[in-house]
Amino acid sequence: MPLGFEKHDHSTCIKDALETAESYCASENLQLTKTRRRVLELLLHEHKALGAYDILATLSKEGLGTQPPVVYRALDFLVANGFVHKIEKLNAYSACTHPGQSHTPVFMICHKCNAVVEAQTKPLRGFLGVAAKAAGFLIERTVIEAVGLCPTCQENTPA
Amino acid sequence: MPLGFEKHDHSTCIKDALETAESYCASENLQLTKTRRRVLELLLHEHKALGAYDILATLSKEGLGTQPPVVYRALDFLVANGFVHKIEKLNAYSACTHPGQSHTPVFMICHKCNAVVEAQTKPLRGFLGVAAKAAGFLIERTVIEAVGLCPTCQENTPA
DNA sequence: TATGTGGTGTTATATTATAACATAACGGAT
DNA sequence: ATCCGTTATGTTATAATATAACACCACATA
Ligand SMILES: [Zn+2]
Ligand SMILES: [Zn+2]
Ligand SMILES: [Zn+2]
Ligand SMILES: [Zn+2]
């Protein structure tokens, strides 16, 4: 699924991502606490983006907290450490599918089924880097998101 | 200013953009009403992004309306017709600096002085197009935003 | 005149996110 | 053992962004 929308063994996705997060946190002395881990699991459950309040609703049912700061703190931690990305276009959050690798994510968002797929790029290569260089601009972070239709939804949406 | 952050005759920027908007609206039978025009002017005033409520505060002082729908309706019109872009990373709005030209904007946002510069790209060329093609994804809109430091703020921010 | 379309005014509410302050849990230094 | 710094949590309140819904009006045109 790093490459696209095709079917895959998603339980492996989840397991790998959790293991990567755990070992990274262990090595960096970061605390992957119960709530943080659970938020990551929820985001890994599907290749979709979830809103903070959707996540909070689940946490609340599970007795892990009821107030917005609970989920925003967990998300802050997960985003800061590269396990989760914020999808700016959706004001929503999506588990990283390339954890551990330093990378600049590029998202493809299906506006019909809400699937979100993450690809990678080199930010300083290609158009953006050229434009930034021409302008003398120093890039620190990038937001690159494409909204459209995934292959499945294209089939089911006759032109 | 299409190319970068350098100084320029900004009154010309404003004048050109307003004239372009006026003639486009005339030719398309679109109504550039008082409020819509004023919002565009406010956004043209500087190469910065303004939040909807910042704009509303000014409209309110000027007797053009006090409620959120006033500004959101004007912004909807201006965005739909390509005179203004939404900067997703900031939840804010910025006047287009290439009005009339069909284009895919790319933004460079200085997080120190809040300047926003718009460049252009071909969305289906380069990395994004390649990744989308590989995934079978049909791109309809793109969000490409770089956050960092403009040339001036780099000078004034010793490493 | 009737009717449709697009624009405005207004009230209310939804959605997303953070400020602020109190409490707890842990580790190392004294 | 006590103190203290750091990190995490609990909680209340509020800020910031955005939309739903409905009433009204102006204009075109049939
Ligand atoms: Zn990632
Ligand atoms: Zn889809
Ligand atoms: Zn533009
Ligand atoms: Zn700057």
- In a domain? residue B4: no
pTM: 0.93
Structural domain boundaries enclosing B20: 10-155
Q: Which helix (H) or strand (E) holds A94?
A: strand A92-95
Number of domains in chain A: 1
Give the pLDDT score at A103: 85
Residue B140 lies in a domain: yes
Q: What is the mean pLDDT of residues A91-101?
A: 90
State the pairing for strand pair B104-110/B138-149.
Answer: parallel
Instruction: Write the CATH number for A94.
Output: 1.10.10.10
A119 occurs within a structural domain: yes
Token pair 């000078």: residue: B155
Tens digit of each residue's pLDDT (9 = 90 or more) over B56-106: 999 999 999 999 999 999 999 999 999 999 999 999 999 999 887 778 899
Selected residues 112-141 of chain A with any CB under 8 Å from a CB in chain B: 117, 119, 121-123, 125-128, 131-132, 134-141
Q: Residue A41's pLDDT is what?
A: 97
Residue B118 to residue B42: CA distance in whole angstroms: 17
Whether residue B149 and residue A140 make contact (CB cut-off 8 A), yes or no, is yes
Q: Which of B122, B137, B148 lies nearest to residue A140, judging by beta carbons?
A: B148
Q: How far apart are CA B108 and CA B118, in angstroms?
A: 6
Has residue B2 been placed in a domain? Answer: no
Task: Pick out residues whose CB falls under 7 Å from strand C.
Answer: A 51-53, 67-69, 72, 86, 91-92; B 30-31, 33-36, 64-70, 73-74, 77
Which spans in chain A are helix H?
Answer: 10-28, 34-44, 52-61, 68-80, 126-135, 151-155
* Model pLDDT, residue A1: 42
A5 occurs within a structural domain: no
What six digits make up the tokens of A31? 């605390």
For residue B103, what pLDDT is reported?
Answer: 84
**Backbone torsions φ then ψ of B121, nearest 5 degrees:** -150, 170
- Domain assignment present for residue A106? The answer is yes
| Listed residue (B140, B75, B135, B112) closest to A120, CA to CA | B135
**Residue A142 with chain B: CB contacts under 8 Å:** 144-147
Task: Report how many Cβ contacts below 8 Å link chain A to chain B.
Answer: 142
Predicted local distance difference test score (pLDDT) of residue B98: 87
Taking only residues 79 to 118 of chain A, the set having a beta carbon closer than 8 angstroms to any beta carbon of chain B reads 88-89, 106, 108, 110-111, 117
Whether the pLDDT of residue A2 is over 50: the answer is no
Task: List the B69 CA – C10 C1' distance (angstroms).
Answer: 10
A3 assigned to some structural domain: no
- Residue whose pair of structure tokens reads 């996540």 in the numeric block: A55
Residue B60 within a domain: yes
For residue A149, list its beta bridge partners: B138
- Residue-wise pLDDT for B99-141, tens only, equals 877 788 999 999 999 999 999 887 666 778 888 999 999 999 9
